[in-house]
Structure 1
Amino acid sequence: MQTILITGCSSGYGLETARHFLAKQWNVVATMRSPREGVLPPSEHLRILALDVTDGESIARAIEDAGPIDVLVNNAGIGVVGAFEATPMSHVRKVFDTNTFGVMAMTQAVIPQMRDRRSGVIVNVTSSVTLAPMPLAAAYTASKHAIEGFTGSLAHELAHFGIRAKLVEPGYAPTTRFGQNTSVRPEQLLPKAYADFAAPIFAEYAQPLLTTTESDVAEAIWAAATDRTGTLRFPAGPDAVALFRAA
């Protein structure tokens, strides 16, 4: 029986992915910054651990407590919506600390054990903004593009040791808490000069033609984690698949 460690399991993609792998009878290590009871039903195959991907000591403790990890899913992420010129660099750094450096730190922490066993899979969850950048999310888009390049390079670097690196690219999911975990509302980062530009964009976000569900992402992560080919990218959701094919 294989063990998967998933970051960002308190809600959204991470939570649904934990449910998906539990249903497949995997051992699941579901991690989140502040573990709470009831987020997942009790199971002999489930462990819930505290993990802050921006904290090196927290990462080290979680990796040690988890034991041998067959699949790492770097899902934890945050967003920020607004005009880039009005986005404080403190917010930009916060986005990169989680979305980029947190992914790199988790990956670096798990590689040695996978290398010693000459097996393992690292799945990095990015976004369809890497296929078609969306406006008013420049910092978020940049943080996800960085992981795309990182993972592509890593796939070549680690293949020698039997380790596979994969990308899952979710489309737009209105049900996610995008932008809420930076404690700043979009309107705070929208100068009046951007009002006419932003209005139709937010209207489109409110009623998108195609959307991605949490199940779409969980299924794509399953496909990536179990894939034994050289496939790198796994778009998740009908909108992401359409963008992927167009690209």
Structure 2
Amino acid sequence: MTDANLAYLYLLLLLFPLVLLVVLYLIARPRPVRVPIKNRHVFITGGSSGIGLALAHRAASEGARVSILARSIAKLEAAKQEILLATGIDVAVFAADVRDYDALSRAVEEAGPIDVLVVNQGVFVPQELERQGLDEVKFMLDVNLMGAFNMVKAALPAIKLQRRERGPGSIALMSSQAETKIRPQLTSIIAASSGAMKADEVAKRALNGIKSGSFIIPCNFEGLLLSVATAGLSPQRSFLMAFVEIVAAGITRFAALCFQWNWYGSIEKWHAKQHFGGGFKVIESLLGDNQRN
């Protein structure tokens, strides 16, 4: 290859990222949008504790009109007083089960037009499937999946009402890795590769992402890797983030394989420990029987 050809190749390599950025700027959809929080109605499910309560705190402190929904009226009232003492803002509370569509519809009608809906409720009954009852699986699906459908469907009329006059709105679906104290030991070992975050920090990042109109809002490095690796056909408002997703697709696949290599190693060690421990207990039992005989 001649020097001229090499120079031409280098020029193409240098121009390619710039051309790609220009193309992505033209085709990335939907367009960027800001979703204001101040003086607007933020409705949060699962708002009486955890991330939901932290979100309510932060939204209230930024001047939003906040409504929180949960099943327990006692927890809701406690959360209301906590937010009032911390921010001076009086939030509205609604006691309803997200599995009950009619109850959600009544709550939304009473709450009034909604600008930002945060579907944050969630339950997790951690257990190996062979030991778990199907009623527990159904309970999780009813609350986490059908509860989200119920809430969004019930709130849509209140969200769409006079939307043009009220400005851009948002619907956010939350997920988390909570309940570490009761999940199986092996699950905790695998999840140890992902750093835990405090509810306040998650709430801060989530609300900032909502305000920026982001489609996916990762809260830590593992979440960012996961969002890049699974971008697929998901929308992307930021042409810069679209560039990162394209360039890093192969790298994130390699990172995922590294995570899995670590997980498989942890699983093998756990199983080996369980088998060794089980054998040791059998030996102890046999020795005890021999001593008694």
For the aligned pair, the TM-score class normalised by the smaller chain equals: 0.5 to 0.7
Q: CA deviation at 1:48?
A: 1.6
Displacement of 1:46 after TM fit? 1.2
Higher percent of residues as strand: 1
Q: Does 1:6 align with 2:6?
A: no
- Paired residue secondary structure (2:171): strand
Q: Which amino acid aligns with 1:121?
A: S
Shift of 1:239: 3.7
Counterpart residue identity of residue 78, structure 2: G
- Contact 1:10 1:35 (8 Å CA) reproduced: no
Q: What is the one-letter code of the residue matched to 1:60?
A: S
- Quick one: structure 1 residues 202 and 60, their matched pair in 2 at CA, closer, same or farther if it must change by over 3 Å? same
Tell me by how many angstroms 1:49 deviates.
Answer: 1.6
**Structure (1/2) with the larger helix percentage:** 2
Displacement of 1:41 in angstroms is 3.2
Query: With structure 2 as the length reference, what TM-score do the two structures score?
Result: 0.55
**Unaligned 5+ runs, structure 1:** 127-169, 180-184, 187-197
Match of 1:202 in 2: 188
Larger C-alpha radius of gyration, 1 or 2?
A: 2
Gaps of 5+ in 2: 1-38, 229-251, 254-293
Partner of 2:169 in structure 1? 120
Q: Return the match for 1:65 from 105, 110, 113.
A: 110
Shift in CA distance, 77/200, structure 1 to aligned 2, threshold 3 Å: closer
* Partner residue, 2:55: 17
Q: Name the counterpart of 2:207.
A: 222
What letter is aligned with 1:240?
Answer: G
Q: Superposed, which structure 2 residues align to 1:44-123 within 5 Å?
A: 44-118=89-163, 119-123=168-172
Letter in 2 for 1:81: P
Cα deviation, residue 220, structure 1: 2.7
Cα deviation, 1:172-219, whole Å, max 9, x if unaligned, reads: 4xxx4468xxxxx65xxxxxxxxxxx65543455x5562222123212
Aligned-partner SS, 1:233? coil
Structure 1 distance, partners of 2:186, 2:159, is 47
Contact 2:113 2:161 (8 Å CA) reproduced: no
The question of whether the paired residues in 2 share the 8 Å contact of 1:79 and 1:178 is answered with no
Percent identity between matched residues is: 25
